[in-house]
Chain A
Amino acid sequence: MSDYTGSEIMTVVAARALSSEDVCFVGIGAPSAACNVARLTHAPRITLIYESGTIGTRPDVLPLSIGDGELCDTALTTVPVPEMFRYWLQGGRITVGFLGGAQIDRFANLNTTVVGAYQRPKVRLPGGGGAPEIATQCQQIFITMAQSPRAFVDKLEFVTSFGHGEGGDHRRRLGIHTQGPTKLITDLCVMEPDPVTREMTVVSIHPGLTREQLQTHTGWPLKFATNVAETPPPLARELSVLRDLQQRTKRAHAA
């Protein structure tokens, strides 16, 4: 038995992928936790940007929404939302964008719009928000999602955010010059795109899990890299920073 949860290792592994040099466009949930764990551990000078307009924010507790006052209070500056999307995101200033979604396919395209037909959906999801442009305008994209066959599907019913499309040079063909999804970090493993096909490929498996277990959580036949590593487990310090942050957050939101 491990002494951490799948969600915790996912967040810690995502945090490790960030550095002090990054300018990071942060989403709510696991991305927000990962970015702030990075800031509170090995990447103290990381620049965190939330789409509400807050640049260089250093929240003490995680925001519940993308525009909590905590983000503005601790930001270097807060800009209007049109400026955020025009100058900072479209302007090419962001090194890493963090995304998640309800559904993902093997080329890391994301659906956050509908399950079922668009006009008469089985489930109406929130929609794209900032994601469609984050996906193409940040230098690279990290995705964090819990891995399950309902979420990791063979074919998306709706592409809200473009990953590697149909694979290969699909991004280039659409005139997109950023890297797209370079890491897919789940509660079970880490995937990276194959250099040629761009299909997301398992490069490391979290401790104690087998290839078969990964496959049962995935709606397509998984590809594994030639050398698959074991993900180094979370360190005590990483876990304590994450748990303290989540405790502070829980207390603040209950107040």
Chain B
Amino acid sequence: MTERARVLPLAAAVEECIHNGDSVAMEGFTHLIPFAAGHEVIRQRRKRLTLYRMTPDLIYDQLIGMGAAERLVFSWGGNPGVGSLHRLRDAVEHDWPAPLELVEHSHAAMANAYDAGAANLPFAMLRGYLGTDLPRVNPNIRTIQCPFTGEQLAAVPAIRPDASIIHAQKADAEGNVLLEGIVGVQKQAVLAAKRALVTVEEVVEQFGPRSPNAIILPAWTITAISVVPRGAHPSYAHGYYKRDNGFYIAWDKIARERDSFLAWMRANVLERSADEVTA
């Protein structure tokens, strides 16, 4: 039996897919980061989440600063080209607003771990972490011996989130989803997860002419779809709008102090509703 993705309002989709205590991956490598869905998770006051993401970016800075997360599994936690994620740092350095457990990897390990999750394997292996201190602080980085050559390789657990959230360019009338441009680990994250929520820029009748190798997630791999134009802003959607680099630069000042951060979140997330952003 295959169940087809249903098109739901964003609030209903988040309510159905994301629960307190879940492990959640919101992916998108600089591109197509699901900001609108992340904001709805904050509005619904989800708590005790284990958050997976290679590059936490501003959306996880916001979730962490609002106290939604108890654990972060990640590989690079900065504001790219700008500096620190101040809310992530405040949580790690001062337990504000709550302690945050870090499970730290490299990009190569995270990418391999999503791939292993999608492939229904228990772990991923790579020629990684050689000479680094990361295995000393993350007991989930272990070694395995190649049964053919005897080479020692790094092993990390597969990523199998309760839910993955991604943003994509479009869905068709059947609920299939197409994404293109920098496609990151989104396909792997969706196929690795128990539930998948996809926000899209628009729904079209048919995708029309395309490469036979276009990245398409069939409707039966997705739990719920919400139509959220500009749902990746200040990240970007290839073919729709550009990355708002000015906002990424401005975030440094907004997030530096707790008060200015909370004021911004109140005005731009908490006091808005999902209905305003859902098409």
Shortest Cβ distance from B74 into A: residue:
A127
Closest Cβ neighbor of B113 among chain A residues: A82
Report B91-130 CB contacts with A as 1/0, cut-off 8 Å: 0110000000000111110011011000000000011111
The residue that B183 contacts in the complex, of A53, A71, A120, with Cβ under 8 A, is A53
Chain B's interface size range is: 35 or more
Task: Decide yes or no whether A8 CB sits under 8 A from chain B.
Answer: no
- The answer to whether residues A136 and B131 also contact, given A51-B107, A69-B238 and a CB cut-off of 8 A, is yes
- Find A132's partner among B85, B108, B115, B238 (CB 8 Å cutoff): B108
Q: Do B245 and A129 touch (CB < 8 A)?
A: no
Cα distance A174–B152 in the bound complex, in angstroms: 10
Contact across chains for B76 and A129 when beta carbons are under 8 A apart: yes
Please, which residues of chain B bring their CB within 8 A of the CB of A54? 182
The CA of A136 and the CA of B130, in the complex, are separated in Å by 7
Q: Are B76 and A81 in contact (CB under 8 A)?
A: no
Please choose the segment from A15-23, A38-46, A60-68, A181-189 that sits at the chain B interface, where 4 or more of its residues have CB less than 8 A away.
Answer: A60-68
Q: Which chain B residues border A81 with CB–CB below 8 Å?
A: 29, 54, 107, 111, 183-185
B36-76 contacts to A, CB under 8 A, are: 54-55, 74-76
B170 within 8 A of A: no
Q: Judge whether A241 is part of the interface by a CB distance below 8 angstroms.
A: no
Interface 9-mer from A140-148, A159-167, A193-201, A216-224 = A159-167
What distance in Å separates the Cβ of B95 from its nearest Cβ neighbour in chain A? 10
Nearest-Cβ distance from residue B49 to partner chain A, whole angstroms:
20
Q: How far is the CA of A160 from the CA of B131 in the complex (A)?
A: 8
How far, in whole Å, are A132 and B132 apart by their CA atoms in the complex?
7
Instruction: Decide yes or no whether B254 CB sits under 8 A from chain A.
Output: no
B209 CB-CB contact with A under 8 Å: no
Residues of A within 8 Å of B, CB-based: how many? 59
- CB under 8 Å from chain B, chain A span 47-100: 51-54, 63-69, 71-72, 78, 80-82, 84-86, 89-90
Interface contact B81-A28, CB-CB below 8 Å: yes
Interface flag for B89 (CB, 8 Å): yes
Provide the residues of chain A in CB contact with B218, threshold 8 Å. Answer: none
Contact of B92 among A28, A124, A136 (CB under 8 A): A124
Q: Are A82 and B188 in contact (CB under 8 A)?
A: yes
Q: Is the CB of B127 within 8 A of A162?
A: no
A217-255 CB contacts (< 8 Å) to partner B: 252-255
Give A162 to B93 CA distance when docked, in angstroms: 25
- Of the listed residues B115, B132, B187, the one surrounded by the most CB atoms of chain A closer than 10 A to its CB is B132
On chain B, the residues within 8 Å of A69 by CB distance are 31, 181-182, 236, 238, 242-243
Considering the chains assembled together, what is the distance between the CA atoms of A210 and B242 in angstroms? Answer: 46
What's the minimum C-beta distance from A178 to chain B, rounded to whole angstroms? 10
Whether the Cβ atoms of B128 and A132 lie closer than 8 Å is yes
CA distance A53 to B193 in the complex (A): 23
Chain B residues near A (Cβ < 8 Å) = 29-31, 54-55, 74-78, 80-82, 84-85, 88-89, 92-93, 104-108, 111-112, 114-115, 126-134, 137, 151-152, 181-185, 187-188, 236, 238, 242-243, 245-246, 248-249
Q: What are 8 sample pairs from A and B whose C-beta atoms fall under 8 A apart?
A: A52-B31, A64-B248, A65-B81, A65-B248, A126-B77, A127-B104, A132-B130, A160-B132
Interface, chain A (partner B; CB < 8 A): 28-29, 51-54, 63-69, 71-72, 78, 80-82, 84-86, 89-90, 109, 113, 118, 120-133, 135-137, 158-162, 165, 170-171, 174-176, 252-255
